[in-house]
Structure 1
Amino acid sequence: MIRVVVDREASGNIVGFEVSGHAGYSEYGKDIVCAAVSAIVQTAVIGLTEILGIKIEYRQKAGKATCVIPAGLSGDQNEKINIILETMLCGLKSIEEGYGDYIRVEERRLN
């Protein structure tokens, strides 16, 4: 199962996320759940880095991807970042609605 954990700061802004595990919906290379999750997450990362020019802390290795948004950004930057990450979250929750046996999306509030 894929597990997605999205971290929010007290203001409600998304400040990071972690995606781990394997869907197990189908065999490697034919798993539509894995492909959909990967496409949504990679598109969000591209939006942050290439479109907004934000230097995020992003690590990806077999079965796990983590992203941390840097502190100290302007309000305008944070607003744009949040739009991209909220869109990513909506897409992942949509996958969870249809394929809940293969993906879990959780939100965690940080202090």
Structure 2
Amino acid sequence: MIIVQIFRDEDRNIERFSIEGHANFAKRGEDIVCAGVSAVTVGTVNSIEALTGVEMDAKMKNGFLSGSLPVLKKGETFSQVQLLLESMVVMLSNIEESYGKYIQIQQHQ
């Protein structure tokens, strides 16, 4: 199972996230759940950097991805980064709705 953890501050802004595990929906190379989660999460990290210039502290290895934001002042860039991260949560939630047996999202404050 893939476990997605979203960590929020006291204002409910996303500070960091981690994804760990394998869906085991299908054999390696054919697992659409793993592929979807990877595309959404890696795409979000890349989009944040390309569209806002903010570089997340990201770590990735087999079956694991984490991303942490640097400290940002609240303003336009902060809002853009939060929108992209919230979009990631929406996309992952859609995957969870369809494939809940293979992915679980946990949110922490």
Q: Does 1:62 align with 2:74?
A: no
For the residues of structure 2 that align with 1:69 and 1:8, how far apart are their CA atoms?
A: 11
State the partner residue of 2:46.
46
> Which blocks of at least 5 consecutive residues in structure 1 are unaligned?
none
For the residues of structure 1 that align with 2:45 and 2:55, how far apart are their CA atoms?
A: 10
For the residues of structure 1 that align with 2:30 and 2:99, how far apart are their CA atoms?
A: 15
Tell me by how many angstroms 1:42 deviates: 1.2
Task: Provide runs of 4+ in structure 1 moved above 4 Å.
Answer: none
Tell me by how many angstroms 1:55 deviates: 1.7
State the partner residue of 2:73.
73
Counterpart AA for 2:55: K
Tell me by how many angstroms 1:72 deviates: 3.4
For the residues of structure 1 that align with 2:45 and 2:91, how far apart are their CA atoms?
A: 14
Identity of aligned residues (%): 33
Tell me by how many angstroms 1:94 deviates: 0.5
For the residues of structure 1 that align with 2:98 and 2:56, how far apart are their CA atoms?
A: 30
Q: TM-score, normalization: structure 2?
A: 0.96
For the residues of structure 2 that align with 1:6 and 1:28, how far apart are their CA atoms?
A: 26
Q: Does 1:104 align with 2:101?
A: no
State the partner residue of 1:37.
37
Q: TM-score, normalization: structure 1?
A: 0.95
In angstroms, what is the RMSD of aligned CA positions?
0.9
Counterpart AA for 1:95: I
For the residues of structure 2 that align with 1:90 and 1:36, how far apart are their CA atoms?
A: 13
- Pairing 1:83-98 to 2, within 5 Å after superposition: 83-98=83-98
State the partner residue of 2:21.
21
